[in-house]
Amino acid sequence: MAVRVATWNVNSIVPRLPRVLDWLERTAPDVVCLQELKNTTEAFPFDPVKALGYEVAAFGLGRWNGVAVLSKIGLDDVVRGLPGEPVFDGQAEARAIGATCGGIRVWSVYVPNGREPQNPHYGYKLEWLAALQNVVRTELAQDRPFAVLGDFNVAPTDADVWDIAAFAESTHVTEPERDALAKLREAGLSDVFPRPLKYDHPFTYWDYRAGNFPNNKGMRIDLVYGNAEFAGAVTDAYVDREARKGKGPSDHAPIVVDLSR
């Protein structure tokens, strides 16, 4: 059985909804992880998404975060938020949601940005990633395909940013952040993208500033980390750059992963 799984930071679901619906129809993923909804759970546009055949589990508190899982192959065992996750400014944020879809366990994650290394948000980011590591270890104890997908706000290597010199003294590339990703890999996950791709430097995010996208001044910070059963079933994986083009796009492109089960 072929299963198509995708992840996309939509950078606000309501204004992006026509593009998202069109993309869902054209790409036909079976499971979709969304991030940065920027609305509440209740305000998610359930009806038009369900009209395309998806079950929806959403988790949003408004403002700058919010995550969801859409599925055409079942949606069970939904968990909103990371067990034991830290808070920022006294409040837990809507940054993670887990669900089981057709026997595949997925977590849609929107890792805190961190802002800059001297900012308290950076410490929050590292604490949040530590909580994610604990969830991953628990999930890996189960015998099923499992993946964490989403906007990690970390570029795994220097090759995952357009110019490492441009990121001096910045978040997303610091050693502690990359160590947190390494701990996920050491626990038993792998990046599904160490494979031949359709083009060099498969970035997933480009700032809106003029020229960044056409000049490919981007970053690879949206990731799919899967266990051996998930990664071993991957037959294709690509960044859908076309979804970043045109009027009013998200500043992120979707990642699409095809599995054979």
Please, are residues 226 and 7 in contact by the beta-carbon 8 Å criterion?
A: no
pLDDT (tens digit per residue) in 100-156: 999 999 999 999 999 999 999 999 999 999 999 999 999 999 999 999 999 999 999
Q: Where are the domains of the chain?
A: 2-260
Domain 2-260, second-level architecture: 4-Layer Sandwich (3.60)
DSSP letters spanning 77-111: EEEES-TT---BTTB----EEEEEETTEEEEEEE-
Q: Give phi and psi for 180, each to the nearest 5.
A: -65, -40
Distance CA 208, CA 204 (A): 13
Residues 10-49 have pLDDT tens digits of 999 999 999 999 999 999 999 999 999 999 999 999 999 9
Total-model pTM? 0.96
The residues pairing with 147 across neighbouring beta strands, listed in sequence order, are: 106, 226
| Cα–Cα distance, 145 to 195 (Å, whole number) | 19
CA atoms within 13 A on the CB side of 69: 31
Question: Average pLDDT, stretch 174-198?
Answer: 88
- Over residues 76-84, the mean pLDDT reads 96
The residue with tokens 């795994």 is 156
Residue 210, pLDDT score? 83
- Whether the Cβ atoms of residue 254 and residue 240 lie closer than 8 Å to each other: yes
| pLDDT tens per residue across span 190-236 | 999 865 455 566 899 999 988 999 999 999 999 999 999 999 999 99
